[in-house]
Structure 1
Amino acid sequence: MATYQMNFNQDFTSLSVLSSTGLRLYSIAGQDKVEELFAKENTEQIRIVERLFNSSLVVLVTAQKPNCLKMLHFKKKQDICNCFYPSDILCVRMNRQRLIVCLAESIHIHDIRDMKILHSIENIAPNELGLCALSLNSHLAFPICQTSGELRIFNANKLRTGMTIKAHDTPLSALSFAPSGALLATASERGTVIRVFSVSNGQRVQEFRRGVKRCVRIASLVFASGGDFLCASSNTETVHVFHVKIDPQLMEAKPIAEAPAKTDTSTKEATAPSEKSSEVASTGSWFSKAVSSLLLPTQVSDVLAQDRAFATVVLSQPGLKNICALTRVQKELRLLIACEDGFLYIHDFNAERGGVCKLLAVHDLRGALEDVIELQLSESLIRTQLNKPTTTTTTTTTSVSIGQPSLTMLKSCAASVLIENPEPGMPDNSYAGILRGDQTDAMSVSLADSAKFRKLCDAIDTPTKLYDERQFPPVAIAAKD
């Protein structure tokens, strides 16, 4: 079976689908309406795709040049610039202020408006998975140990190192910030327990039990757009949604002294005695607190203190990678599951009762979008549709001719990042340019940087059309003098 790499943008309004044949970007305009925005043949073997919100900015990393970050204005089919790094790019994260590039042993922080490198975090513990998370307010979290689930929070806006959190005893497998940036969810490679921490003080404020029998790999860990729910998917057949209910006292507490992390096992989670009372209190039951603290062994009371799933989705086929999103689609809360089989599943979600989420629609995104949108309400019809062969059509893409590159070297610490401007030779036809006549090489580089800046501003600028209240307001970036 062909596999598809699926990835939502930051506000879950669009979805990228990457396969061996090409790249496609889709806009999720409604429950039964998914629109194709862009298609590109995969001649370069693209392996990483990220889109910035609903803007025209897309970044790509290819297998042919794994150390090169390509920035593209996809609506105009124009290259903005290319950035070269000392080693292979493993992960890219973006918000409206920063662009983060994660390598195996370093992390580079760029100003997304002009791609100037602001800081490099060097000599970190080998991070072969490229695991990192970036909040909307530019908090950056990344692992700092290969043998345990220890992580560090870095303020990418102020370029300051924050606190270190010992989240798990085993290495981390997933990190995710809440939209507000105040909470950080973590999961270890065992996948049995998911923890939520306060970013301001490092306090563990809530803990969820995903399972007790099987150790799994968490493929997707993401907060809802409102921050009140947390969705987790793994290589099992069940997707779990947890209700995030935080005690304000834990959020306002002073930073705690670092203590050994709790033991991660497939059947139990050992809890530090100093943290036990706060976790039991979060259950909201004096009876549970009394029983767990006085009558039951520590390991049993710890399990009772962990919250269970508020809602679930049972998938038809286990073992596949699923990327989840819990967001509002046309003002209705929906659970979106993008599966590596090439389908987008849309489920109903009841924020009051929870329970099993009802399947509302299935969209086939394995090829061109025409005549393959399916709205199904019957499970038998869905199974029939999934077994049918899909007719695909070829989409023609327009190639962009690019002049000889101009290179600008930006240095930070021990690493060097090479910025390549695609169109430095573009003539300056302005009145001032004609009066200047021939330009020096330095002036050509300056003009190339200006052209790159204008393209970035144009690509980052958010469309003025707002689909609903979850959309971020348009951000206009003024050109520099």
Structure 2
Amino acid sequence: MSNAREVLSVRFNQDFSCFSCSTESGVRIYNVNPLVEKINFGITTVGSVSKCEMLNRSNLLAIVSGGTRPKFPDNHLLIYDDLAKKFILDISFKSTVLSVRLKKDKLVVVLKSQIHIFSFPSPTQKLFTIFTRDNPKGLCEIGTLPNTERNILVYPGFKTGSVDIWEPHSMSKNLSSAKNRIDAHQTDVRCMVLNSTSTKLATASQRGTLIRIWDIIMKQQLLELRRGSDPAIISCLNFSKNSEYLCCCSDKETVHIFAVKDTQLNKRLSIKSKTLGSYASSQWGLTGFKVPQETAAECAFGENNSVIVICLDGSFYKYSFTPEGKNHREQYDIYLDCDDDEEFFI
């Protein structure tokens, strides 16, 4: 028998001011600062849900069913309008929907070997389909280049460890000329994220020891950061809003914070050794802190040099840090218990 409070996934919105929590009993939306439950859609409205994607702080939510009591098949993408209090869109696909990305004018739906891009929200019509290598994690990010309305799409390339980039001006039926490739890692890419201006891309591989940051325009590596020496499953990467820092969650229970702009802040080994090779010159995080992550978590930057971590066990952490590498826990909560007495089910 399933636990109604079991969390299946969590996901920040685009500016990290809110996050969605998909559970066996529906979907909850939380404000981050202060931590407050804003919306609770129960089992009768949405069923058990595996994924939920917010569109900023708007009334539109993208929902994919999952868990033990789904209301819809997992190959359907649903858009729920909280103002109208109803589903306004239902798109079916040939296989399970693995992830969804929303922008004010685009809807991106990721399947195991296809990515579908739609205009959004109205009219919603398919613009094109991309065929990809097997992408079981549904990796894909869409952004907008600064001072333009041009979208950019990144996703795992057919070559092992590579990332394909599609330039926004060529989002049309003829896509071959628009595709560029970054050879990011020697093993499959496990995690990726664009910064707020879509000019930088951070990637991590299945090995999980190194994080590389790339210039999207020049297709060149800017920085290599070391998470650790032991393999790890990296579940989340995120840039700060000004791209000065990068945070990283993994199954090693440590959240790492790296300096991206002033790399002199990052730690380095105090010894030099030819036998250690590039390891000896690695840049390590300027600071980090422990959270009990037996399962995947999401991390993101808050205000005033703070990092927010939301875990699948229902815990919420907020740590502040300084450029000198000091950190302090400011908040710990169980977000599933927030506003429990005022919980409502639609």
Report deviation, 1:339: 0.8
2:135 counterpart SS class:
coil
Q: Do residues 333 (structure 1) and 341 (structure 2) align? A: no
Q: Do residues 222 (structure 1) and 238 (structure 2) align? A: yes
Aligned Cα root-mean-square deviation (Å): 2.3
1:366 counterpart SS class:
helix
Structure 1 pair 155–177 and aligned structure 2 pair: CA distance change class (3 A): same
Give matches, 1:314-325, under 5 Å. Answer: 314-315=290-291, 317-325=292-300
Report deviation, 1:127: 1.1
Q: State the alpha-carbon separation in 1 of the partners of residues 321 and 22 from structure 2.
A: 27
Report deviation, 1:326: 0.9
2:189 aligned residue = 172
Q: State the alpha-carbon separation in 1 of the partners of residues 286 and 57 from structure 2.
A: 30
Report deviation, 1:103: 0.8
Q: Do residues 200 (structure 1) and 217 (structure 2) align? A: yes
Q: State the alpha-carbon separation in 2 of the partners of residues 155 and 87 from structure 1.
A: 27
**For residues 340-390 of structure 1, what are the alpha-carbon distances to aligned partners after superposition, in whole Å with 9 as ceiling and x for unaligned?**
11021111122x2223x21111222224x23xxxxxxxxxxxxxxxxxxxx
Q: Do residues 128 (structure 1) and 136 (structure 2) align? A: yes
**Identity value in percent:** 25
Higher strand share: 2
Which sits farther off after the overlay, 189-198 or 92-101? 92-101
Report deviation, 1:3: 4.0
Which sits farther off after the overlay, 230-239 or 151-160? 151-160
State which of 304, 325, 329 in structure 2 corresponds to 1:354: 325
Structure 1 pair 3–305 and aligned structure 2 pair: CA distance change class (3 A): farther
Amino acid paired to 1:19: T
1:88 counterpart SS class:
coil
Conservation of the 8 A alpha-carbon contact between 1:229 and 1:243: yes
Amino acid paired to 1:139: I
2:38 aligned residue = 37
1:14 aligned residue = 18
1:107 aligned residue = 115
Conservation of the 8 A alpha-carbon contact between 1:186 and 1:194: yes
1:113 counterpart SS class:
coil
Unaligned runs of 5+ in 1: 247-281, 371-391, 399-481
Amino acid paired to 2:274: L
Report deviation, 1:189: 0.5
2:137 counterpart SS class:
coil
Report deviation, 1:397: 3.0
Q: Find the structure with the greater CA-based Rg.
A: 1
Q: State the alpha-carbon separation in 1 of the partners of residues 53 and 110 from structure 2.
A: 13
Conservation of the 8 A alpha-carbon contact between 2:251 and 2:296: yes
2:278 counterpart SS class:
helix
Structure 1 pair 104–336 and aligned structure 2 pair: CA distance change class (3 A): same
Number of equivalences:
320
Conservation of the 8 A alpha-carbon contact between 2:35 and 2:335: no
Amino acid paired to 1:40: F
Q: State the alpha-carbon separation in 1 of the partners of residues 85 and 334 from structure 2.
A: 25
Amino acid paired to 1:17: C
Conservation of the 8 A alpha-carbon contact between 2:163 and 2:184: yes
Q: State the alpha-carbon separation in 2 of the partners of residues 228 and 12 from structure 1.
A: 16
Conservation of the 8 A alpha-carbon contact between 1:145 and 1:171: no
State which of 261, 264, 287 in structure 2 corresponds to 1:311: 287
Structure 1 pair 394–35 and aligned structure 2 pair: CA distance change class (3 A): closer
Conservation of the 8 A alpha-carbon contact between 1:97 and 1:113: yes
State the TM-score, normalized to the length of structure 1. 0.62
**For residues 400-423 of structure 1, what are the alpha-carbon distances to aligned partners after superposition, in whole Å with 9 as ceiling and x for unaligned?**
xxxxxxxxxxxxxxxxxxxxxxxx
Q: State the alpha-carbon separation in 2 of the partners of residues 396 and 358 from structure 1.
A: 35
1:144 aligned residue = 157
Q: State the alpha-carbon separation in 1 of the partners of residues 341 and 73 from structure 2.
A: 28
Report deviation, 1:87: 1.8
Q: State the alpha-carbon separation in 1 of the partners of residues 157 and 343 from structure 2.
A: 44
Conservation of the 8 A alpha-carbon contact between 1:338 and 1:345: yes
Q: State the alpha-carbon separation in 2 of the partners of residues 320 and 121 from structure 1.
A: 31
State which of 83, 98, 103 in structure 2 corresponds to 1:95: 103
Q: State the alpha-carbon separation in 1 of the partners of residues 293 and 51 from structure 2.
A: 24
